[in-house]
Amino acid sequence: MRLYSTLQREKVDLPPPPGPIRMYFCGPTVYARAHVGNARPFVVGMWLRNWLRTRGYDTTLVHNITDINDKIYAAAGDGSSGELAAKATRWYLEDTAALGLGLPDHLPKATEAVPQIVGFISQLVDSGHAYVAGGDVYFRVASYPAYGELSRRRVDQVEGQDEEDRPNPLKLDSRDFALWKANKPDEDTSWDSPWGRGRPGWHIECSAMAEELLGPAFEIHGGGLDLVFPHHENELAQSRALGHEFAHLWVHNGMLRFTGEKMSKSEGNVVTIRDALDRWGHETFLLFLLTGQWGKPIDFSEATMDQARAQLETFRNALLHDATSHADWSELEAVLDDDFNTPEALAVLHRWRAAGATDDVARGLALFGIGGAREDAPDLVRGLAEDRQRAREARAFDEADRLRAAIEEHGWEVRDVADGFQLVPK
Ligand SMILES: [Zn+2]
């Protein structure tokens, strides 16, 4: 199996199974309901882990929660930043659970990794790659000549990275970035350190949590394309400055683009994961994500979601029929093993569907969390659907429509099929 890696700028082969394949995917900064775009790195990480397991790999997936960050202090205002982060963490876990893909192996929180982070910073200070300036600690970019290797920026051309609105005049070089920030009067959570009370910078949190759980060298680091610079560049520099390989492959998912009239009109109103799942259901949303190659941007609009829903319908209708043939799984393996090409995988599944290989289609969709666990409708809903069936047979269509609406109020949708009806969760 091979995957396109930002660092090597080409597809890189994974070691043969069982690996291991250890993966770290950057998670959200928790201060509000997660934006629908935050779902993509989670989904790509979970799908990849599932496929690697199917192919016989021993995998570990770490997905962190950034619960110490400037944005959290800002969003909390006069309230407690710790409480806001804890609440938003619960929201994120609820919303990602609703995607129906299960959980990563580890979900570390920065607040629970402060001792490891302080230890990591101390090693950078001791080795001369970091310096103390007031109560802050900065990474000395000039001390690591390979800086820029991930984002392909030359170290002498990197511009300043003042991540916050209060630049420290003691900072030696505008390119240097904070590893530790002294506590400010308006920040209500802080920790002890050899440099005084304060809190870690965002980049060092991920280096420390990744190495703590996966070791100083691991196979895959993932996250959104917007994190390549400065976040991932800085993670790589911190770890490699200490002589650790850190991640071998870097996989970056493309962004969701908000297009179409209605989506543009709602500009400013963030579409959350929860909004998307309430509106379209998790299987339509997952099918939508399958239509885009993970590394490319994907257009999120009414039209593309409607298309995804229609594709899902086509598959669901096909799955009502018993298999009349069997598929050749090597077709699916070939496209997923080559850079995890999910649009091609969908095309393969549609070919299998057309050929009547419905058992294989169901197994294929289940790899991506679609149609894996179909719930049975409760007796009450089933009874309403049976009444509706009788109303239709008696040509009492108004009554049938009323019963359809009642079924929908219970969260189910009734579909008419050749030999009766089918109930699917809405
Ligand atoms: Zn990160």
> What are the two backbone dihedrals, phi and then psi, of residue 61, each rounded to the nearest 5 degrees?
-115, 125
Instruction: For residues 24-30, give the mean pLDDT.
Output: 95
Q: Is residue 268 domain-shared with residue 315, that is, in the same domain?
A: yes
Give the distance (Å) from ligand 1 centre to CA of residue 221. 9
Q: Is residue 15 domain-shared with residue 160, that is, in the same domain?
A: yes
- Residue 264 confidence (pLDDT) above 50: no
Inter-axis angle of helices 302-318 and 342-354, to 10 degrees?
Answer: 40
- Residue 269 confidence (pLDDT) above 80: no
pTM of the model: 0.86
Q: Is residue 141 domain-shared with residue 279, that is, in the same domain?
A: no
Domain end call among 253, 285, 303: 253
Give the distance (Å) from ligand 1 centre to CA of residue 350. 36
- Residue 265 confidence (pLDDT) above 50: no
CATH classification of the domain holding 101: 3.40.50.620
- Residue type present at position 225: L
- The band of 378, judged by pLDDT with boundaries at 50, 70 and 90, is confident
Q: Is residue 106 domain-shared with residue 8, that is, in the same domain?
A: yes
Q: Is residue 285 domain-shared with residue 391, that is, in the same domain?
A: no
394 part of a folded domain? yes
- Residue 381 confidence (pLDDT) above 60: yes
> What are the two backbone dihedrals, phi and then psi, of residue 367, each rounded to the nearest 5 degrees?
-55, -30
- Per-residue pLDDT at 321: 85
Instruction: For residues 306-311, give the mean pLDDT.
Output: 93
371 part of a folded domain? no
Instruction: For residues 234-241, give the mean pLDDT.
Output: 97
Give the distance (Å) from ligand 1 centre to CA of residue 181. 17
Give the distance (Å) from ligand 1 centre to CA of residue 419. 52
Domain end call among 237, 253, 269: 253
Residue 155 is given by DSSP the state G
Q: Are 110 and 127 in contact (CB under 8 A)?
A: no
Give the distance (Å) from ligand 1 centre to CA of residue 365. 30
- Per-residue pLDDT at 159: 73
Give the distance (Å) from ligand 1 centre to CA of residue 96. 18
- The band of 400, judged by pLDDT with boundaries at 50, 70 and 90, is very high
Mean pLDDT value across the chain: 91
Q: Is residue 107 domain-shared with residue 128, that is, in the same domain?
A: yes
Percent of the chain with pLDDT over 70: 94
Q: Which helix (H) or strand (E) holds 366?
A: helix 358-366
Helix (H, G, I), strand (E, B) or coil at 399: helix
Per-residue pLDDT tens over the stretch 107-132: 999 999 999 999 999 999 999 999 99
Q: Is residue 227 domain-shared with residue 297, that is, in the same domain?
A: no
Q: Are 313 and 424 in contact (CB under 8 A)?
A: no
Instruction: For residues 377-381, give the mean pLDDT.
Output: 83
Per-residue pLDDT tens over the stretch 190-235: 999 999 999 999 999 999 999 999 999 999 999 999 999 999 999 9
- The band of 377, judged by pLDDT with boundaries at 50, 70 and 90, is confident
Give the distance (Å) from ligand 1 centre to CA of residue 352. 39
Give the distance (Å) from ligand 1 centre to CA of residue 66. 8
373 part of a folded domain? no
How many independent structural domains does the chain possess? 3
Report strand pairing: 177-182 vs 136-139: antiparallel
Give the distance (Å) from ligand 1 centre to CA of residue 26. 4
Nearest C-alpha neighbor of 328 from the set 291, 355, 305: 355
The tokens of 38 are what? 């935050």
The beta-carbon contacts of 148-152 under 8 Å, at least 24 apart in sequence, are: 148/233, 149/7, 149/233, 149/236, 150/6, 150/7, 150/228, 150/229, 150/232, 150/233, 150/236, 150/250, 151/228, 151/229, 151/230, 151/232, 151/233
- Per-residue pLDDT at 426: 75
- Residue 375 confidence (pLDDT) above 60: no
372 part of a folded domain? no
Give the distance (Å) from ligand 1 centre to CA of residue 411. 38
**Other Cβ atoms closer than 10 A to 198:** 21
Give the distance (Å) from ligand 1 centre to CA of residue 143. 22
Give the distance (Å) from ligand 1 centre to CA of residue 100. 24
- Per-residue pLDDT at 376: 67
Domain end call among 191, 220, 253: 253
Q: Is residue 332 domain-shared with residue 385, that is, in the same domain?
A: no
Q: Is residue 154 domain-shared with residue 303, that is, in the same domain?
A: no
Q: Is residue 168 domain-shared with residue 288, that is, in the same domain?
A: no
- The band of 416, judged by pLDDT with boundaries at 50, 70 and 90, is confident
Higher-pLDDT residue of 179 and 70 is 179
Q: Which helix (H) or strand (E) holds 180?
A: strand 177-182
Give the distance (Å) from ligand 1 centre to CA of residue 315. 37
Give the distance (Å) from ligand 1 centre to CA of residue 7. 16
Q: Is residue 71 domain-shared with residue 196, that is, in the same domain?
A: yes
Give the distance (Å) from ligand 1 centre to CA of residue 178. 15
86 part of a folded domain? yes
Inter-axis angle of helices 273-280 and 302-318, to 10 degrees?
Answer: 50
Give the distance (Å) from ligand 1 centre to CA of residue 277. 25
- Per-residue pLDDT at 373: 43
Domain containing residue 393: 379-425
- Per-residue pLDDT at 267: 52
Per-residue pLDDT tens over the stretch 136-190: 999 999 999 999 999 998 777 777 775 565 678 888 998 999 999 999 888 889 9
Residue 291 is given by DSSP the state T
CATH classification of the domain holding 280: 1.20.120
The C-alpha atoms of residue 272 and residue 270 are separated, in whole angstroms, by 6
- Residue 266 confidence (pLDDT) above 70: no
Give the distance (Å) from ligand 1 centre to CA of residue 27. 7
- Residue 44 confidence (pLDDT) above 90: yes
Q: Is residue 244 domain-shared with residue 134, that is, in the same domain?
A: yes
Beta bridge partners of 5: 10
Give the distance (Å) from ligand 1 centre to CA of residue 231. 7
**Alpha helices (runs of H) in 187-270, residue ranges in sequence order:** 202-214, 233-241, 261-265
Instruction: For residues 254-267, give the mean pLDDT.
Output: 68
Q: Residue 278 burial (CB < 10 Å; 0-12/13-18/19+)?
A: exposed
- Per-residue pLDDT at 372: 46
